[in-house]
């Protein structure tokens, strides 16, 4: 029931949710979680939500150009929706989206974390370390690591990471986990 935006390199803003997810995680689980989020949003707001999804909203032939605008895309959305699956914390692009969010926003009410399955839990997020995340492309990894390290990977791991768990986590069985 949600609307997709045209793949012209720019999406109409604002969107309700910026979706942060790993393309390596189970698509069926992600779709089910998105449907749940959409249903809950529509019940609360009387309309279906809009989503910013990289594959649809970024010109895939010019990803580097569009990703320079990542802070604009994220901040133009009402919430950052983290779909945490088994590979989420190991994907450097996911780390980059989180790092960008934390670098420009201190409003943790704008983040919603959803677990895709019971095995994807708070412990995986609380032990998160940017050093353990990687890209498929070595050049992308080197570029992203350089930027993150210039801003302070320790700062990200030490100051921001624990704060983003508090009151924002929903387990696969619907129980809210508060740390």
**pLDDT digits 0-9 by tens, 65-123:** 767 777 788 888 899 999 988 888 888 888 888 878 877 887 888 889 898 887 655 55
pLDDT confidence bin for 6, thresholds 50/70/90:
very low
pLDDT for the residue numbered 133: 85
% the chain with pLDDT above 90 = 22
**What is the pTM for the complete model shown?**
0.77
CB distance 58 to 10 below 8 Å: no
pLDDT for the residue numbered 25: 92
Mean pLDDT of 9-27: 80
Greater model confidence, 60 or 6:
60
- Pair of tokens at residue 79: 């919430």
10: Cβ–Cβ under 8 A, 6 or more apart, which residues?
Answer: 57, 69
> How many Cβ atoms from other residues are within 10 Å of residue 103's Cβ?
15
pLDDT for the residue numbered 33: 95
pLDDT for the residue numbered 126: 64
% the chain with pLDDT above 70 = 70
- Pair of tokens at residue 159: 């100051």
162 phi and psi angles, rounded to 5 deg? -65, -35
CB distance 19 to 85 below 8 Å: no
Mean pLDDT of 126-152: 81
Greater model confidence, 103 or 8:
103
* pLDDT tens digits, one per residue of 41-59: 999 999 999 998 887 877 7
Q: Which of 156, 21, 167 is nearest to 102 (CA)?
A: 156
């Amino acid at each position: 029931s949600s609307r997709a935006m045209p793949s012209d390199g720019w999406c109409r803003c604002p969107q309700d949710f910026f979706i942060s997810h790993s393309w390596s995680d189970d698509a069926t689980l992600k779709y089910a979680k998105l449907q749940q989020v959409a249903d809950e949003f529509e019940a609360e707001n009387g309309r279906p939500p809009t989503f910013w999804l990289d594959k649809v909203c970024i010109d895939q032939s010019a990803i580097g150009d569009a990703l320079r605008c990542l802070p604009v895309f994220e901040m133009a959305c009402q919430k950052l929706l983290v779909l945490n699956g088994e590979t989420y914390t190991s994907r450097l692009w996911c780390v980059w989206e989180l790092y960008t969010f934390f670098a420009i926003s201190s409003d943790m009410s704008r983040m919603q974390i959803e677990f895709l399955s019971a095995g994807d839990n708070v412990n995986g997020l609380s032990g998160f370390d940017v050093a353990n995340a990687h890209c498929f492309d070595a050049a992308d990894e080197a570029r992203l690591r350089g930027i993150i390290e210039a801003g302070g990977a320790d700062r990200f791991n030490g100051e921001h990471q624990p704060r983003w768990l508090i009151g924002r986590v929903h387990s696969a069985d619907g129980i809210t986990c508060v740390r």
